[in-house]
Structure formats: C-alpha cells, structure tokens
Amino acid sequence: MSTITLAKIYEKQGHLADALDIYETLYSKNPQNAELLEAINRIKKVNTKALKYFVGMKTPEQFAKFERWLAKSWN
C-alpha cells in the first residue's frame, strides 16, 4: 500500500523516482492536499537543479560542492 509515510522514506533514502510516483498517485486522488503538491514540487526542483549542475561539472571543486549540496539536501 502506497502512503505518504512510504514516500517520505523513499525520498530520505534517495529513491526520488519511487517517492515521486507515490506522491503523484496520492495527489491524483486528493488534489486538495497541499503537502503532496509541495513534495512533488520539491522532488522535481531537486532533480532539475541537480541534473543541470551535475552535467556541467568539470573540476574537483565542483564535484566537492555538489557533494556538499547533496548531503545538505538529504538532511
């Protein structure tokens, strides 16, 4: 059974696609739920920012900065 709690666990573990699937499924059944919409937007925003930065990384400093950002994002 897919629940907000399970989606949060997936999100914390870094399984963003799985978390997003659950959030979107639950949101389709309850579009008034602001928590679900916030979670969907949060995951989509993280994915977009991370991908753009990750693709453009060329130096060890950029990799280190990205690693720090990831650690901060998951806490």
Q: According to the model, what pLDDT value does residue 44 have?
A: 87
pLDDT score for 35 = 96
Given a cut of 70, the residues of the chain with pLDDT beneath it are 47-50, 74-75
What pLDDT is recorded for position 69? 79
Q: For 57, which DSSP code?
A: -
pLDDT recorded at residue 4: 96
Q: What does the pLDDT read at residue 47?
A: 62
